[in-house]
Structure 1
């Protein structure tokens, strides 16, 4: 191989390397864009399908026209505190049996065990995820922030109904709340 052929081979190799680097940069940019778009796309998907147990974030009007007395559904209540929140947070009752279409009122107890004032926000989730579309909160403490002074305690209410259109194979719903400290965000 003479010098001219070697120079051509080196130039061709640099051109191929340059093309490869450009392609890889485009792939990296596309992956970053896809990753960035996943969160809003997932939220839309969950809203449409009812997956992930997301419930309504605002009060709904009671729209049931009948109460299905021939059927009962067990609604279980679970609470947990996010890491670092020194509150007692628990349902007054752990489960209740309701008829679809019937308005039900339950209470939750909270106490700020910290030596300082705090504000918390409860985030709900329903399982099975499909049932979230049929669990309607008329009034819920989770719609608003919950400020509590040091050592203060409160009973918070949830008013809800289970839609009569709930699929027949779902007999038990679990409503889970996670309590988050939002003191800094609420100031």
Structure 2
């Protein structure tokens, strides 16, 4: 086996201003450890406390959603996440992706598109409305309060994409600019 060209990978990370990147099975303890590393990095970079808190909150929301989805949908690769945090053009970008059932990905894309059309006042109203709704314990979770909260923290509309895969699956990617 040839040794990987890690120098080229490092150059790519530097060029794209990627601060953190992870690809693999995600667990609660791993989410916590990566979160601590992210928090420490932002502290050493003297990121404003508000921005650091928003970046951390979005990271936690995205990764926990992947973990919960994997727990609820036991198919091969469901627990594998790709997570990336970068800093470009004066903004942090938190992105995460995972394999989903195509219909779940389509549903989430529609939710993201709908939220992208709302301004900050409308997002605040939607958040309060969602908060007041009784939670149906039998209903599948997802695309609710956490997504709205991320949209409220974002400095630009949330972006999402869905790459179709085989057998009714797709790879869902979500990116939030802070």
Q: TM-score, normalised by structure 2?
A: 0.28
Q: Which has the higher helix share?
A: 2
Higher strand share: 1
Query: Considering only CA atoms, is the larger Rg found in Structure 1 or Structure 2?
Result: 1
| Bigger RCO (CA 8 Å, 6+ sep) | 1
